[in-house]
Every structure is written in C-alpha cells, then in structure tokens.
A = this chain, B = another copy of it.
Amino acid sequence: MRILLIEDDPVLGMAVRDQIVADGHGADWVTRLADAEHAVHAAAFDLILLDLMLPDGRGSDFLRKLRSTGDATPVMVLTARDQISDRIAALDAGADDYLVKPFDLFELSARIRAVGRRYAGNPNPLVTLGDIEVDLSARSVRRAGQTIALTAREWALFEAFVQRPHQLMSKPQLEERLYSFDAEVESNTIEVYVARLRKKLGADVIETVRGMGYRLGTPGGGA
C-alpha cells in the first residue's frame, strides 16, 4: 500500500513514516500542502494521512479541494484533542477516519490495516442490499441501476448502517458517529437524516425500532 503523509512536525512525522515503512508500506512524507497537492497529482495513493494544522494552510481545505475533484482516496485525519471544530470541518470535508494526537503507533498500524482491508483487500467492495448496490470506496449508491447522490451527512449516516448490517444502533450512537466527540446536539437531526435517506433510497432501507434506535432494513422485500 502506498501512503501519503502530510505532517509538519518533524518528530511525529518521522515516527509515523518509520512505522508505515516498518509495516511494509510505501511512505511519501511532505510537510506542506503545496507539496501534498503536487504529490496527489503526480501519483495515486491508497491512503492519505493528513494533519490539520500546517504551515501553509488548513488541512480541511486541502481535503475539500481533493474531494471536489472527485478523488475518493481514503483520508485519515490526524488531529489534536482540543481542535474539535477543525475535526468536524475535516469530517464534513470528506475525511474517512481520524486519529487523535497523541496516538499510539500500534493504533496507527491497526487503522492502516483496517483501511487496507476495507479498500485494497478486495478491489471491488460492493455491498448489495436487495436492489441497492453500495460501493464504500467510491462512496456511491445505486438503486435499480440508478445512481443516487448523497450529501456528506447522508452518506455518513448510511455508511454507519451498511458497515454493521444487523446491528441495531441507538440515536446517541449515531450522533457520535456523525459528530465525533462533540456529541452535544440535543435535536432530532438523526431522525431528519433517516427520513431523507428513506426518501432517496426507499422507505424500507432503514427500519425503526421504537425506543431503541434504527437498523438496516431489507430493501426489495425479504427475498
């Protein structure tokens, strides 16, 4: 796996790069966003590790620009504990995962392995639910052959269900999933997004279990 590391701190950067190499991956390490943009244009990566605070700009801006070009390379954000707003911005901008500094290098290895399993392990990770096809790496959903566009939040919610097909998930669980550690929201946001997903993908896509939460339904009938 080829990994692009965008991190300006020399100590952390070196440690992470060494760990990546030790895990048997290829590592490209840049310290500025300008270099990072050059790198993603020059080569294809399987994973990008992105620090949010960089000398020549914000990592979330880089990420947003990357996603706007249609690039779906998995991005794992490296963030400090108190930069909650930045973290949310990063998830909104299209980050796939995040790691809170200071993090254990074992944790890093485990996450990278998880990415490899999820994305590179099987080149065509298609999940099928009735007549719905989900491509986790491409972030695309099709129902009856028709591609359906989901917004960032809609996708984040839907992905949570797809990754755990039989699991019942409570609203607090889902809120935490969508809003990271800043689960301060006291509203019906989850309900609203469930409704929007049902409107886009079909009413039977998500099943309500009163008083407990939601779970993936069985689209297209129980067949």
What 0/1 pattern do residues 143 to 176 of A give for CB contact below 8 A with B? 0000001011101000000001011101011000
**Category for how many chain A residues contact B:** 35 or more
Q: Is A190 an interface residue (CB 8 A)?
A: no
Q: How far is the CB of A5 from chain B (nearest CB, A)?
A: 20
Instruction: Check if A92 sits within 8 Å of B82, measured CB to CB.
Output: yes
Contact with A84, one of B98, B166, B184 (Cβ below 8 angstroms): B184
User: Interface centre among A210, A211, A212, by most B CB within 10 Å?
Assistant: A212
Given known A138-B164, A184-B84, contact A210–B152 (CB-CB < 8 A): yes
Instruction: Check if B82 sits within 8 Å of A209, measured CB to CB.
Output: no
Chain B residues, Cβ within 8 Å of A106: 170, 212
Instruction: Check if A172 sits within 8 Å of B107, measured CB to CB.
Output: yes
Given known A106-B170, A107-B172, A172-B107, contact A211–B152 (CB-CB < 8 A): yes
Q: Is A44 an interface residue (CB 8 A)?
A: no
Q: Is A128 an interface residue (CB 8 A)?
A: no
Docked CA distance A88–B184 (Å): 12
Given known A84-B184, A91-B181, A138-B164, contact A155–B104 (CB-CB < 8 A): no
Docked CA distance A172–B104 (Å): 10
Q: How far is the CB of A117 from chain B (nearest CB, A)?
A: 12
Given known A92-B81, A181-B91, contact A140–B155 (CB-CB < 8 A): no
